Structure 1
């Protein structure tokens, strides 16, 4: 892979988190292997998937860089680009405001805040109450601005709520964009953490994303992949 300090943390990531990222990179919306992916036929993948993915974190990172090279300016470069460039491209695609001088982590926080805002905006009152309950946000009669404020504060300050939000976002975005749960892992580790993975609440949090033009096959990879990487970094930082 291209030397990329923003992806070095993947070597310490949990296996189930790497599996989610790996599945986003390799499976399409029908749950079939992506035609453009170059990972699943490698000996390293066949040996390590799904339980030893830390051993091939570099190969996973390389696959993300390569897909990113197919979205930047819509050019098929034939080689990968660094994660920060992919992140900025995704933010521009989703109309997330950021400054070039900001750190990668800060830009990721802007992205996650936008995800939260878009998700909450499309929820009914019943869905808002369900989300507050699932995330253990102590608001009896939640309103949209209350949930947005609580999640923005968590994203900026960290803590347990941020970890819950990161897992929640990862699951909901994955369900919409790869068409199946990316969390079917041994022991359903993340399933136990969050609980509701479908139904009205799941539709509510993903509804805000259908307005974006993700018709490009590469964007259908890079958008959820970048959101997943951002969530992984946040969870690791909040240990």
Structure 2
């Protein structure tokens, strides 16, 4: 579940606590469902926000006080599910944006490219220029045309997909094989989570891998939120 307890201290996401609640709401919406309204079957942020509604009476208070849960959801979507399960948390934003940049063909050097420049390169690579938060229709259309949104839910049950990738045979045989495999895998994953993630059967690995359908649009939103935040800081400092 994406709660504050799942949040990893992350200097590159700390600015979210100072963002407008409308922008946090937009980012939350991107994490909860795709541009067509289909909810992510692996996400838990919606449940957390609904629960927090009982604590914070206004939308502004809700999103402002839930920024760590929002950041935790990003970190969890950016990590491998198997490894996330073992360590109880996701990965830091730097790792996510570098992964997204590599996936989308951004030319950068890890050692010398800071977050701001990397996000700038990402936006320019994907859209030909630096976009703004009020251009979501253009952003979603471009991402979809380039195959970066993808399906947000698997047609059949994820557990069924994993079962089929582990073994075939009769239904009872497959179920027995799955249970035996899970019992063996349980200890293996605890001892070697990174190796386990790398050696899962292909279909299962596709399920547990970082959710690019979420992290690519989310990184674009975060990049634009950071630009807006920095501009607001500059304007404030001038007074």
Compute the TM-score of the two structures, normalised by the length of structure 1: 0.60
CA contact (8 A) 1:39 1:45 kept: no
Query: Alpha-carbon deviations, 1:159-181, whole Å to 9, x = none?
Result: xxxxxx322444533xx3xxxxx
Residue number in structure 2 paired with 1:221: 214
Residue number in structure 2 paired with 1:5: 11
C-alpha separation in 1, matches of 2:151 and 2:84: 15
C-alpha separation in 1, matches of 2:53 and 2:92: 22
SS at match of 2:229: helix
1:212 to partner: Cα distance: 3.1
CA contact (8 A) 1:67 1:80 kept: yes
1:207 to partner: Cα distance: 3.8
1:44 to partner: Cα distance: 2.2
1:237 aligns with 2:205: no
Residue number in structure 1 paired with 2:156: none
Distance 1:20 1:208, change over 3 A: closer
Unaligned runs of 5+ in 1: 118-150, 156-164, 177-205
Distance 1:45 1:105, change over 3 A: farther
Unaligned runs of 5+ in 2: 1-6, 153-210, 233-239
CA contact (8 A) 2:21 2:60 kept: yes
Q: Which has the larger radius of gyration?
A: 2
Cα RMSD between the aligned structures? 2.4
1:79-118 matches, within 5 Å, as 79-101=89-111, 102-117=113-128
CA contact (8 A) 2:17 2:64 kept: yes
Aligned counterpart for 2:145 among listed residues 188, 199, 210: 210
C-alpha separation in 1, matches of 2:60 and 2:142: 32
Q: When the two structures are aligned, how many residues end up with a matched partner? A: 160
